[in-house]
Amino acid sequence: MSSEPNPPDKVLLAIASEQRRIILRTLEFADEEAMEMDALADRVAEALRNTDRADSEHRKRVRTALHHVHLPKLEACGMVVRDPETNRIRNATGDLGQELLTVLESYETQV
C-alpha cells in the first residue's frame, strides 16, 4: 500500500455510495483489525435492512455486490485492503477519508 494520500476525487467517489460508507464504518468499529467477507456481508446486509437479521437472499445479493462492486472500488483507492488468502478485509481509510465520513455521518443524522 502506498503512503501517499488518496486524491480527493477518488475518495469522494468511493464514499458516495451508502453501501460503501456502511462497509467502512463496519470495518472501523469491528472487534478485530480485519473481518471475514461473510461476516462483513452479514453486517452490511443487516444495516441496509435496518433489522437484526437479513434474509438469506438479501445477504447473498449484498455479498455479491461487495465482492464485485464495492470492495474493488474501495481497494482501488486504498480505502480497504483485502487479503486474498484469508479473504479478510481491513479498513485503510486514511485521514481524508475518515474526516469526510465524519462530516457525512453528522449530515446524515441531521436529515
| CATH 1.10.10.10 is right for the domain spanning 8-110 | yes
Report the pLDDT value the prediction gives residue 4, as an integer from 0 to 100. Answer: 65
Give the Å distances, CA to CA, from 22 to 1, 2, 43, 101. 22, 24, 9, 10
The reported pLDDT for the residue numbered 53 is 65
Quote the mean pLDDT of the chain: 86
Residue whose C-alpha is closest to residue 96's, from 1, 2, 30, 15: 15
Task: Output the pLDDT for position 10.
Answer: 83
The pLDDT, as a whole number, for residue 56 is 87
Write the CA distances from 108 to 4, 9, 12, integer angstroms.
29, 21, 16
Q: What is the pLDDT along the chain (111 residues), one digit of tens a residue?
A: 445 667 778 888 888 899 999 999 999 888 899 999 999 999 999 998 866 666 889 999 999 999 999 999 999 988 999 999 999 999 998 777 778 878 877 777 776
pLDDT of 63: 95
- pLDDT digit string (tens) for 81-93? 999 999 999 999 8
**C-alpha cell of residue 80:** 480497504
pLDDT given at position 1: 46
Taking the C-alpha atoms of residue 105 and residue 98, their distance in angstroms, rounded to an integer, is 10
Q: Which three cell numbers stand for residue 27?
A: 470495518
- Could you tell me the residue ranges of all domains in the chain? 8-110
